[in-house]
A and B are shown apart, each in its own frame.
Chain A
Amino acid sequence: MIYSACHELPFTQIHIVDTEFFGAGGEQKTPVCLVVRELLSGNVNRYWMDELRQMNEPPFDIGPEALFVAYFASAEFSVFLALGWNLPANIFDCHAEFRCQTNGETLSFGNGQVGALQYFGITDVDQMAKDDMRQHILTGGPWSPNERLAILDYCQSDVDGLARLFSAMLNRWPLKSMDFEQALARGRYVATVARMEYRGVPIDLKALNLMRNNWHHFKQALIEETDQAYGVYEQGSFRTHLFERYLKTQDIAWPRLPSGELQLDRDTFKMMALRYPQLAELRELRKTLAEMREIKLTVGRDGRNRTLLSPFQSKTGRNQPSTTKFIFGLPAWARSLIKPEPETALAYLDFSSQEIAIAACLSNDEALWEAYASGDPYIQFAIDAGLAPAGATKESHKAERDACKVIMLGVQYGMSAYGMGQKASLHILEAEELLQRHKDVYRTFWKWADQNVNAGLAGVELHTVFGWKIRASNGRDVKENTFLNWPMQANGAEMLRLACIALEEAGIRICAPIHDAILIEAPLNEIDQHVARATSLMQKASEWVLGPGRQCRVDAEIVCWPDRYEDGRGASMWSLIQSHFGAEVA
């Protein structure tokens, strides 16, 4: 079956829905109005906030026979959740599907609803007027009767536009049954996103407010304290000539620009700090100063960090939340602001070496899978490559394992032998040799990866196991490494999406998805049970992507109230913060 028109879809009702709402950053949303058009009958219904608040469920069918259609549906679901409603059984998010179908194209008008309409030549939408009205709604009222009418008309205009867009999308991109099921799975994830956004991450509000109120003063203190070991700041500013002097005393050869000046970008600092651990605190300080001129973390009055998770925004289909408003986008030390609520616990569960597992399974490289399945793919590569004897361990051959780890991870990103050498403290010839051994040992993987790159660069559409796509369009600047890495990243994103759906639908409370990990919360006395269940579901989700009988390992770390979350990479910075602010952030 191929669906190319609305009436062909296997539903008795198709509801095109838009809502308006307001709410400050970090707060749950307050509904303003809702407009719904049933596409098959053409009926339109409009509801103002006071009517909505009296409803225990949506004023239309959200069961298995009906389809819910929206653009960026997580926004609509923030209203549903605020009203205490259940979320629909079948969701088609036109934003997710528009992103999926056009991923890799250059979109002149962006991927918002207006941009999508313009993509299809539907141009009778006034973006300026829309922005003005949206700002007016965000004021939170009160609104006169005429203003209410204007807001409802505005909301309905979006519904009308969306109905046209939905039809145009089906017409341009007819969906086979399997494609449609995959689209519904993405819709199901959007519902999960809404729940996660609604719930948020628990933050130590007291500590946050203390830091926020004293941030400027603290930054000065932080520079003074940290710089004692480096002597590279002068009147609060980083001085290159002082850093040159420091590097000389430490005998560190720092990468330079063609002009001869030191290369001081973030990636170079990250790489050099990995190579020279004595630079780690300086790097964290620079990162903190650069990214946190002020603390923009959006936290509600209930102490929960909430922000848009922006699903499907990246090429790989991953979420792309704000790096300043989302707690996991901030420097590592800031994660210590995460603190379970009283009598609850948090657990951070992550897929272990997810990319290697995906690479092994999708390429059908048995040697690479064996390496993953051994529990330590890096030492196994060292053994397979003849660098370490059979039976070698992480402890017995640490240097070899570390070098192999850099190679194994680097190849996924197309890192050059030079880059690998820099990162692993190897001579370029040693790195080249190791890279060659990787190619020898995992030949099936390399053949598959080359095929993906060649096909991707040739404009062939690549897809994940569950249908997220990418295609390089004409004239688009495409890079080899995009297509080398895309299958691992995009399938990794998919694995996490499926895991989030499975966990939420099993009643596990997810606070946030983080790249290849999930933060959940549960009552203190139930956390072990929840972690066990979540682990099992994440493993099952990995099997959906990797294929029958193959699962990713899942690691879990539990934080029980009254402890706070800790990230080892930010530990020294956090202890500075604690010594500055004292018992308040203990």
Chain B
Amino acid sequence: MSIENEKSHFDPSRFAMLSTGAEEFGTRKIRSVIPVNKPGKMEWVHLLDHEDFFIPGAALLDLQDGGRVYLVVPEIATQLNNDVRLYKLAPALTKQDKLFLWPCPIIQPGERPNPWHSSHNDAFNAAKSGWIRMKSNSACGFYDILEPEKIMPEPDWPEMSFTDMLQIAFNDDHIVDRDDHPALRRLLGGV
């Protein structure tokens, strides 16, 4: 028996299509929920470090009822004293692609040192340049900040404006922009 040692006559390469046909089919993720919270203790997170995506002093009101927090406009916030707290606010992504707004407490001048807050700020800053995990260390009274030994790839940031993110995160009903807002009435015992 002899086998052919020259190139086979069969050469289909001229009619190959190196694709699956799905290339033109694009999709886009619609983000309908954007939570406002600090990172979960199991979550690796990365902050979007851009001046257009940052509020240096956002006044947030937490009614402590298990519901979402309220964003209070500055004119109202000044009237509420200790009921609101100022936070730095910026978008962040988890490794599981959860987009959220991360509120990080601002340490006011003269405020009594609080290791929870200062380590929280350290984590917030560290997350601007890479993935981190923020994990409470109750024994020591502050957050441990973990970073991976190996560089993890940068996240794919969603193509959304910060205004749109805020709109989705707070809707209209979680922005306190008038004196008779139901959240204020609840706070003051009126609702």
Contact = CB atoms under 8 A, between A and B. Distances in A.
Interface of A: 178, 181-182, 185, 188, 361-362, 386, 436, 440, 443, 448, 450-452, 454-456, 458, 460-467, 487, 498, 501-502, 505-509, 522-523, 526, 529-530, 533, 537, 540, 544-545, 547
B150 A386 contact: yes
Given A436-B95, A436-B96, A440-B153, A456 B22 contact: yes
B127 to A, nearest CB: 17
A544 B9 contact: no
A455 B26 CA distance: 8
A508 B1 CA distance: 9
Interface stretch (B12-20, B52-60, B76-84): B12-20
Interface in B2-52: 2-5, 8-23, 25-27
A411 B25 CA distance: 22
Contacts of B9: 505
A507 B21 CA distance: 35
Contact of B25 (A454, A465, A507, A544): A454
Contact of A506 (B4, B21, B23, B26): B4
> What range describes how many residues of B lie at the interface?
20 to 34
Contacts of B16: 465-466, 544-545
B25 A466 contact: no
B110 interface: no
Given A386-B150, A455-B22, A501-B10, 7 more contacts: A182-B15, A451-B22, A465-B17, A507-B4, A526-B1, A544-B12, A544-B13
Contacts of A522: 1
27 contacts: A181-B12, A386-B148, A386-B150, A436-B95, A440-B153, A443-B153, A448-B20, A450-B27, A451-B25, A458-B25, A460-B25, A461-B21, A462-B20, A462-B22, A463-B17, A463-B19, A465-B16, A465-B17, A466-B16, A467-B15, A505-B4, A506-B8, A507-B2, A526-B3, A533-B3, A544-B11, A545-B16
Report which residue of B18, B23, B96 has the largest number of chain A beta carbons within 10 angstroms of its beta carbon.
Answer: B18
Contacts, number: 99
A178 B17 CA distance: 10
A451 B13 contact: no
B5 A533 contact: yes
A114 B18 CA distance: 35
B18 A465 contact: yes
A450 B12 CA distance: 29
Contact of B3 (A185, A464, A506): A506
A440 B20 contact: no
B25 A440 contact: no
Contacts of B5: 533
A191 to B, nearest CB: 11
B152 interface: yes
Q: Which of B13, B27, B152 has the most CB of A within 10 A?
A: B13
Contacts of A443: 153
Interface centre among A182, A185, A502, A522, by most B CB within 10 Å? A502
B149 interface: yes
A452 B15 contact: no
A502 B15 contact: no
Lowest 5 CB-CB distances: which A-B pairs, in order? A455-B22, A455-B25, A507-B3, A181-B15, A386-B150
A467 B8 contact: no
Contacts of A502: 8, 10
A506 B6 CA distance: 9
Contacts of A508: 3
A440 to B, nearest CB: 6
Contacts of B19: 362, 463, 465
Contacts of A529: 3
Contacts of B10: 188, 498, 501-502, 505
Interface string B48-92: 000000000000000000000000000000000000000000000
B147 to A, nearest CB: 13
Nearest to A467: B17
A526 B2 CA distance: 9
Contact of A462 (B2, B3, B18, B21): B21
A540 B10 CA distance: 11
Contacts of B20: 362, 448, 452, 455, 462-464, 487
A362 B22 contact: no
Contacts of A530: 3
A522 B23 CA distance: 44
A462 B25 CA distance: 11
Given A506-B3, A507-B2, A463 B25 contact: no
Contacts of A547: 18
Given A185-B12, A188-B10, A498-B12, A455 B4 contact: no
